[in-house]
Structure 1
Amino acid sequence: MYFPYLRGRQYELIAIRELVENDLIGPKIIPIIEPVKPSSTFKKTIDVFIKNEHKLAVVHNPQVASYLKALASLEEGLLKSELENIYEQENIIFSHILNDKSEDELIGFETIRNEDMLVIVNEVDFIEEYKDIFHDELPRFTLVPDESAFRRNIREDKILLEDRFKKQKRNADYAEVTDEFYSEDHLYYKSDGYIGFSDYSIVGSDYFDSGFAPFAVVIHIVYLDEEEKLRIKHFVSDSNDDINDPAGKFYEALQKLMAWQKEVEVDTFAMREFKKFYENETYPGLGTVKKLSIMHHLEIVNQYFEEYTR
């Protein structure tokens, strides 16, 4: 099973929503959302997963941004009420990031059974607290890094969580590493003692609450090589001396993507969308570029599951 970990920016939410709406990911892919804003986009995404009976894990104590504060300050109304009660919905998995306040944060959620819960343990210091809180009944899923301390202490129903995206300081730097290894977790997670694997897709684990105008535009595309390992290509624009003309920069990167796609004939929903932008010479904005790259990644993993893990 694959648990892509996303931070709930608008383009991430729309990416997983459109994947479910178009039936492009199956039950072996369960996205995890650490929400950053109590928005209508977030609520609509939840609704789509519920309607399509597809599981979605939602973190109730996000550690980035100020989601809980923003939710508390919302005016009383339907949006606030529905977001406060999402864990009563079928197919929404209550998820918790373990920290030094976990015992207090879990008060009020006693009706949620551990066997229905997903827990993220990403620091060694919290392993003992994990054991104390869940000594009677373990969570259904526990996400941990691939480190010996976690492997020795958390032995059952564990999910491998690693950041596989090698982030460069500047977009232009990807021109020096246009093709590189991404991951082989999908091949070996079971033999390594995990029941699933998780990563941060082509975004990475770092979180920034505001964007910036880049000097270079880059399109990140994950693909399966001849050994079924995941690699990632970075298609980078050429005119990267200033922040002017992002549409032109996008088209430079897109031309490279389309030349490669013609060679390998990778077929995904996102690739078909990129082809439309290429043929129409239109620029959808950087948010859509990131959305499509995420969609492509998740669909590629889904294709692997459907073809090789029946």
Structure 2
Amino acid sequence: MYFPYLRGRQFELLAIRELVENKLIGSKIIPIVEPIKPTSTLLKTLNCFSEEDHHIALIHNPKVGNYKKALDNLKDETLKDKLTNSLHKHEVIPAHILNNNSVSELKYIENKENLIVILNDTDHINNYLNIFNTEKPIYTLTPDESSFRRKIKNSRVLLADRFSKQLRNADYVNIEDESFSEDHLYYRDDNYSGFSDFSIVGAEFSETGFAPYAVVIHIVYFDDQMSLRIKHFVSDTNDDITDPAGKFYEALEKLINWNYSKNIDTLGIREFQKHYKNGTYPGLGTVKKIAIMHHIELINNFLEERLK
């Protein structure tokens, strides 16, 4: 099982929505969304998963953004009610980040056995064991550390940030190609029920955006041993923030030329090929969306083939 951990940014929500709409992810993938603000895009994504009878997990106590406060103050009562009631949908699995207030935060969750828990702090392990003494969550995401392995035995999911984020996009010029992950190969050997990562975005969260000097496209791919690597395609004219469309095309051309020999075929790659052919620039958010779609579809294809 693969649990891509995504924040509620629009491009991340659109990525998983387009994948499920195109039936490109199966039952072996359950996205986990930590919402950052109440939006119609979030609601449409949850509704889409429900309509397609596909599970998605929604964190009800997010630690990034201002979701809960913004939801309480939302003037659109219809949107507010629908988002509030979304956790009652059969396809929407409630998820919870363990913290000092978990006892009070969980009192509104009726069935703790239908809950995904994110336990990423050793200080909360005993709290977890006390809360889930009898009712065990369906999955618990933990780092691959001895403290968690010794004490958490039921349906553990390996949670790791496999994306090596650089300070500046231009810094990827010095890396180009690097190892990404082998979790998909060995998670069962290590007694995990699944694995989770933050895709090509990384765990670090920031609500502020900025105009980059360089445009980079991050593409994961399998090597000959089926380990995942990541290739960084970086623009060339990186002296200032002007002409992002031209920078995108420089990076995109490198991706297209590289894929002539790789022949990777996913919806994401085909979208990049369309932009290259048409000379179009979709914006940096859409570039990330397409790269996330490619990553998740690639993992889906691997799991569908391996776990037949």
How high is the TM-score relative to the length of structure 1? 0.98
Quick check: 2:28–2:304 contact (8 Å CA) kept in 1?
Answer: no
Quick check: 2:34–2:59 contact (8 Å CA) kept in 1?
Answer: yes
**Superposition pairs of residues 183-262 of structure 1, within 5 angstroms:** 183-262=181-260
Q: CA deviation at 1:54?
A: 0.4
**Superposition pairs of residues 143-162 of structure 1, within 5 angstroms:** 143-162=141-160
CA distance in 1, matches of 2:108, 2:145: 32
Range that drifts further, 22-31 or 300-309:
300-309
Which amino acid in structure 2 is aligned with residue 31 of structure 1?
P
Q: 1:306 aligns with which of 300, 304, 307?
A: 304
| SS of 2:288 mapped into structure 1 | helix
How high is the TM-score relative to the length of structure 2? 0.99
Q: CA deviation at 1:107?
A: 2.0
CA distance in 2, matches of 1:9, 1:142: 24
Which amino acid in structure 1 is aligned with residue 9 of structure 2?
R
Q: 2:165 aligns with which of 159, 164, 167?
A: 167
The superposition leaves residues 98-156 of structure 1 with CA deviations (integer Å, 9 ceiling, x where unpaired) of: 001111111222x2x12210000000000000011010111010000000000001011
| SS of 2:282 mapped into structure 1 | coil
CA distance in 1, matches of 2:306, 2:104: 43
List, as ranges, runs of 4+ consecutive aligned residues in structure 1 with deviation greater than 3 Å.
none
CA distance in 1, matches of 2:256, 2:23: 25
The superposition leaves residues 45-77 of structure 1 with CA deviations (integer Å, 9 ceiling, x where unpaired) of: 000000000000000000001100000001252
| SS of 2:107 mapped into structure 1 | coil
| SS of 2:83 mapped into structure 1 | helix
CA distance in 2, matches of 1:129, 1:302: 34
| SS of 2:108 mapped into structure 1 | coil
CA distance in 1, matches of 2:305, 2:265: 14
**Superposition pairs of residues 73-222 of structure 1, within 5 angstroms:** 73-75=73-75, 77-109=77-109, 111=110, 113-222=111-220
Could you tell me which residue of structure 2 aligns to residue 54 of structure 1?
54
Q: CA deviation at 1:166?
A: 0.3
5+ residue gaps, structure 2: none
Could you tell me which residue of structure 1 aligns to residue 4 of structure 2?
4
CA distance in 2, matches of 1:108, 1:270: 39
The superposition leaves residues 231-252 of structure 1 with CA deviations (integer Å, 9 ceiling, x where unpaired) of: 0000000000000000000000
| SS of 2:210 mapped into structure 1 | coil
CA distance in 1, matches of 2:306, 2:152: 28
CA distance in 1, matches of 2:130, 2:113: 16
Which amino acid in structure 1 is aligned with residue 221 of structure 2?
Y
| SS of 1:301 mapped into structure 2 | helix
Q: CA deviation at 1:273?
A: 0.7
5+ residue gaps, structure 1: none
The share of aligned pairs that are identical, in percent, is 57
Aligned length: 308
Could you tell me which residue of structure 2 aligns to residue 19 of structure 1?
19
Say what the alpha-carbon RMSD is for the aligned residues.
Answer: 0.7
CA distance in 2, matches of 1:121, 1:280: 45
